[in-house]
Amino acid sequence: QQPVQSPQAVILREGEDAVINCSSSKALYSVHWYRQKHGEAPVFLMILLKGGEQKGHEKISASFNEKKQQSSLYLTASQLSYSGTYFCGTFDHTGGFKTIFGAGTRLFVKA
């Protein structure tokens, strides 16, 4: 089951904040976040694990609510370089381990 991301798209002015949400209908052990700039490969941002462990980008913050099966990515004081599509990834263990990504949230930061 693909995780659901919201919003689908957001436009910000430089310096503004944004929150991107990711929710799953299944119990989660972890959530991964990636950013993909136009024409480039996705880049790892952060992993949030059940139990509170996190690793990733120092300037990015995120939360993981295990009970609600949700994660949120917080982008504060946005910069032009934050523009891109943000994907959250979860894992499906049905029939074997595989990564499932949300449809993505397109973020555009303008000057």
Partner 1 sequence: EAGVTQSPTHLIKTRGQQATLRCSPISGHTSVYWYQQALGLGLQFLLWYDEGEERNRGNFPPRFSGRQFPNYSSELNVNALELEDSALYLCASSSGTGEGYEQYFGPGTRLTVT
Strand pairing category for 84-92 and 98-101: antiparallel
Q: What distance in Å separates the CA atoms of residue 20 and residue 74, rounded to the nearest whole number? A: 7
Nearer to partner 1, 27 or 77 (CB): 27
Residue from the set 19, 83, 101, 108 that interacts with partner 1 by CB under 8 A: 101
**Block residue for tokens 């555009």:** 108
**Do residues 105 and 7 touch, judged by C-beta distance below 8 A?**
yes
Query: The tokens of 28 are what?
Result: 């989660």
**Block residue for tokens 């949030």:** 48
How many Cβ atoms sit within 10 Å of the Cβ of residue 10? 18
Residue from the set 21, 66, 91, 108 that interacts with partner 1 by CB under 8 A: 91
The pattern of x and - marking residues 43 through 82 that bind partner 1 according to CB under 8 A reads xx--x-x---x-xx--------------------------
Residue from the set 22, 64, 82, 102 that interacts with partner 1 by CB under 8 A: 102
Site residues for partner 1 per CB under 8 A:
2, 29-30, 32, 34, 40-44, 47, 49, 53, 55-56, 87, 89, 91, 95-104
